[in-house]
Structure 1
Amino acid sequence: MCGIVGLFLKNPRLQPQLGALTAQMLKTMTERGPDSAGFAVYGGAQHGQSKITVRGLEESQRKDFEAGVLAVSQKATFVFRDDHAIITCSDEAEPAVRAFVEGFGHGVVFVSSGDSIELYKGVGLPEDVAARFGLSEMTGTHAIGHTRMATESAVTTAGAHPFSTGPDQCLVHNGSLSNHNTLRRQLVRDGLSFETENDSEVAAGYLSWRLSKGERLDEALTASLSDLDGFYTFVVGTRDGFAVLRDPVACKPAVMAETEDYVAFASEYRAFAGLPGIEKATVFEPEPQRVYHWEHAA
């Protein structure tokens, strides 16, 4: 049992409240996932610039880490939040910076990259994880979050959601896949790599693999209905929006709310209680096997 939240802002005036609203929604899902949590926030994209999120960086390592990044990207900038760091660099320098991160060692690992995504996750109660990274103060256009109750693997930061396996793409999942090991082997043969044994990371990799072949997100999600065996609710974050998909049985709870100002997703309705204007929202349960997709104009 896990909890999912998502918030897509149509009204730019709400962007300063994105983090605070998402943090409150995440807190309400504590009972569905008290062992670890994570969230992805989208916003602040700048032309020609890439954001890279890394985790596991101790304060004593920051000086050497910064020096190493600046050696391959002199104009890189840094934002540190607890043991995570957001590196902003030019698009041209992104491969070199990522290579440095992956070779740095000392428990420091790559988390995500893209024009606008910042991804944070950790072990602990969702409220504590959100506070650790200052989610309530973050701004942006949309966000997704997840609270985890580990049932098939250990409680670790690596196993927490979201999983990001492609530029500005991440996935959170409530459910279980039965054929993820077979699919993992196929994806590894096609050049993908995985950090964990989590079935949700395989689902994220599967979508990235299909998108890399030129498919649209709705096409990739539709294909997953036949390629992924199990029960699941997916919420997928992208640079410009987010998408929702439930399996044919749709046994995992899901509810959505839409107003003129936003679209919200949650595993339970009570997560919407603090959203502005929720009393006027259109509230509905997403249908099984149907892709729901919202995005900002490019």
Structure 2
Amino acid sequence: MCGIVGLFLKNDSMRPRLGEMLTDMLITMTDRGPDSAGIAIYGEGDQLKITVQSDSPQTGFAGLDADLAAALDGPVTMRVIDTHAVLTLPDGTEAQARAFLLDRGLRVMGTGHSMEIFKEVGLPRDVARRFGLRAMSGSHGIGHTRMATESAVTTLGAHPFSTGTDQCLVHNGSLSNHNRMRRVLADKGFAPLTANDTEVAACYLSSRLAEGADLGQALEGTLQDLDGFFTFVVGTRTGFGVVRDPIACKPATMAETDDYVAFGSEYRALADLPGIEAARVWEPEPATVYFWER
């Protein structure tokens, strides 16, 4: 079933409240997905960051910043948040850093200059509390509560999925041609690493953006190349997008004011947003791309 939330702030004065608003939206969707939860926050930043996860953070993160700095021959800082760590490192070192981190047995959640991803198994309110999501600020973010139907309940199976720099995706639905698309994407150098069909969609988006498509064009491509029923909500460093398949059997609601654009699998996820009583509220049309960019 799953629940999706998203919030794109047009009013910069609201940025300190992004985490608070997204957390309330996410918790409201708990009964659509109690297995695991995740959130991507887009904040300020001009340095490359990699968010990693460890099941044993006390040992997994011990000395990690110093060891990585020595491997990269450059400055590395580390901020540990529960089972995740956000590493800041020199530009141009992502590939080398990824190889080092994977060799250490760590899981890469995402990379980017503004994006940080936090996701774990458990109820949304517990995941939000563990990572201190309420206190986070930023320009936009997306979140997901998962009810696993086609793959195991694991941290790596939780959403959002990030397969490109400052890019991530959450999904409600099921893809019927994901196995064929895995082969196509692998040939392009965007091979999914998990059994989750959502990662296939994320890899597809990354491949289109890498080929020069803008966010709107990449989302249009999902309607042509991905079969099944789906709602995708996507974040990039400067953008926020939504698309539903031509049948649009999965519920979706959007709201827009002068201050923000919001998405929720159900209206109740949006009901407590400031100014919602004056918002333009609508159900996204099937096979129609909506996106906003800064």
Q: Same fold (TM over 0.5)?
A: yes
Q: Aligned partner of 1:261: which letter?
A: D
Q: Which of 164, 180, 190 does residue 192 from structure 1 map onto?
A: 190
Task: Give 1:272's aligned residue.
Answer: 270
User: How far has the Cα of 1:60 moved from its partner?
Assistant: 2.4
Q: Which moved more, 1:214-223 or 1:251-260?
A: 214-223
Q: Aligned partner of 1:68: which letter?
A: D
Task: Give 1:36's aligned residue.
Answer: 36
Contact 2:66 2:76 in 1 (8 A): no
Contact 1:73 1:93 in 2 (8 A): no
Matches within 5 A, 1:104-119: 104-105=104-105, 108-119=106-117
SS of alignment partner, residue 182 of structure 2: helix
Deviation per CA, 1:60-80: give whole Å up to 9, x if none: 232232222121253211111
Give me the whole-angstrom Cα distance separating, in 2, the residues matched to 1:195 and 1:92.
Answer: 23
Give the superposed CA RMSD. Answer: 1.1
Task: Give 1:126's aligned residue.
Answer: 124
SS of alignment partner, residue 93 of structure 2: helix
Q: Aligned partner of 2:63: which letter?
A: D
Contact 1:250 1:288 in 2 (8 A): yes
Q: Aligned partner of 1:65: which letter?
A: L
Task: Give 2:261's aligned residue.
Answer: 263
Contact 2:98 2:108 in 1 (8 A): yes
User: How far has the Cα of 1:254 moved from its partner?
Assistant: 0.3
Q: Aligned partner of 2:32: which letter?
A: R
Q: Aligned partner of 1:219: which letter?
A: Q
Could you state the TM-score of these two structures normalised by the residue count of structure 1? 0.95
Contact 1:68 1:100 in 2 (8 A): no
Task: Give 1:6's aligned residue.
Answer: 6
Contact 1:102 1:110 in 2 (8 A): yes
Size of the aligned set, in residue pairs, is 292
- In structure 2, the CA distance between the partners of 1:24 and 1:125, relative to structure 1 (3 Å rule), is same
Q: Which moved more, 1:57-66 or 1:267-276?
A: 57-66
SS of alignment partner, residue 242 of structure 2: strand
Task: Give 1:163's aligned residue.
Answer: 161
Task: Give 1:62's aligned residue.
Answer: 61
Give me the whole-angstrom Cα distance separating, in 1, the residues matched to 2:238 and 2:187.
Answer: 30
Give me the whole-angstrom Cα distance separating, in 1, the residues matched to 2:73 and 2:277.
Answer: 49
SS of alignment partner, residue 156 of structure 2: coil
Q: Which moved more, 1:92-101 or 1:49-58?
A: 92-101
Task: Give 1:231's aligned residue.
Answer: 229
Task: Give 1:86's aligned residue.
Answer: 86
Give me the whole-angstrom Cα distance separating, in 2, the residues matched to 1:216 and 1:264.
Answer: 21
Task: Give 1:285's aligned residue.
Answer: 283
Task: Give 2:199's aligned residue.
Answer: 201
Give me the whole-angstrom Cα distance separating, in 1, the residues matched to 2:29 and 2:48.
Answer: 31
Give me the whole-angstrom Cα distance separating, in 2, the residues matched to 1:110 and 1:73.
Answer: 21
Give me the whole-angstrom Cα distance separating, in 1, the residues matched to 2:171 and 2:165.
Answer: 19
Deviation per CA, 1:107-156: give whole Å up to 9, x if none: x1111111100001100001111111110000000000000000111111
Could you state the TM-score of these two structures normalised by the residue count of structure 2? 0.97
Give me the whole-angstrom Cα distance separating, in 2, the residues matched to 1:219 and 1:156.
Answer: 32
Deviation per CA, 1:231-287: give whole Å up to 9, x if none: 000001100121000000111000001111001000000111221111111100111
User: How far has the Cα of 1:10 moved from its partner?
Assistant: 0.5
SS of alignment partner, residue 40 of structure 2: strand
Unmatched tracts of structure 2, length 5 or more: none
Give me the whole-angstrom Cα distance separating, in 2, the residues matched to 1:241 and 1:86.
Answer: 22
SS of alignment partner, residue 150 of structure 1: coil
Give me the whole-angstrom Cα distance separating, in 2, the residues matched to 1:73 and 1:147.
Answer: 39
Give me the whole-angstrom Cα distance separating, in 1, the residues matched to 2:192 and 2:210.
Answer: 17
Give me the whole-angstrom Cα distance separating, in 2, the residues matched to 1:183 and 1:115.
Answer: 28
Q: Which moved more, 1:274-283 or 1:72-81?
A: 72-81
Q: Which moved more, 1:57-66 or 1:127-136?
A: 57-66
Give me the whole-angstrom Cα distance separating, in 1, the residues matched to 2:219 and 2:21.
Answer: 27
- In structure 2, the CA distance between the partners of 1:217 and 1:61, relative to structure 1 (3 Å rule), is same
SS of alignment partner, residue 201 of structure 1: helix
Unmatched tracts of structure 1, length 5 or more: none
Task: Give 1:98's aligned residue.
Answer: 98
